[in-house]
Amino acid sequence: MMKSVVESRGGTAHAAKLPGYLMGGKTGTADKVVGGRYNGDVMASFVGVLPADDPQYIIFVLFDAPKTVHFASLTAVPVFKEIARHMITYYALQPSQAEELNAYQLKG
């Protein structure tokens, strides 16, 4: 399920996809409650695993009351992608297995 959030074209975090790497995750957008009432602000988050076929890292990005757009797909997901891109380089992570990538791309 977490793979489809990133890997499927209709997934809420498809923008996080990096070619050659299977990733999974979950977006979250929630109204904030202060004093028992919604205050008009939101929290937008994305938690992702890298690589999804053999998780080694978890990245959590949270925006508390973002000022422009409120959706996690437009706030937290792009930040996750940049962090993941740097981690792949820094830790020299190998691409996902070709067989699993091809099988998943046929489904997604």
- Among 3.40.50.720, 3.40.710.10, 2.60.15.10, 3.40.50.300, name the CATH number for the domain at 2-103: 3.40.710.10
* pLDDT tens digit sequence for 7-42: 898 999 999 999 999 999 999 999 999 999 999 999
What pTM does this model have? 0.85
For residue 27, the cross-strand partners are: 46
Helix (H, G, I), strand (E, B) or coil at 45: strand
* pLDDT tens digit sequence for 31-72: 999 999 999 999 999 999 998 988 999 999 999 999 989 999
Assigned token pair, 70:
């409120």
Assigned token pair, 29:
């957008």
Identify the pLDDT of residue 106. 47
**Residue 56, Cβ neighbours under 10 Å: how many?**
10
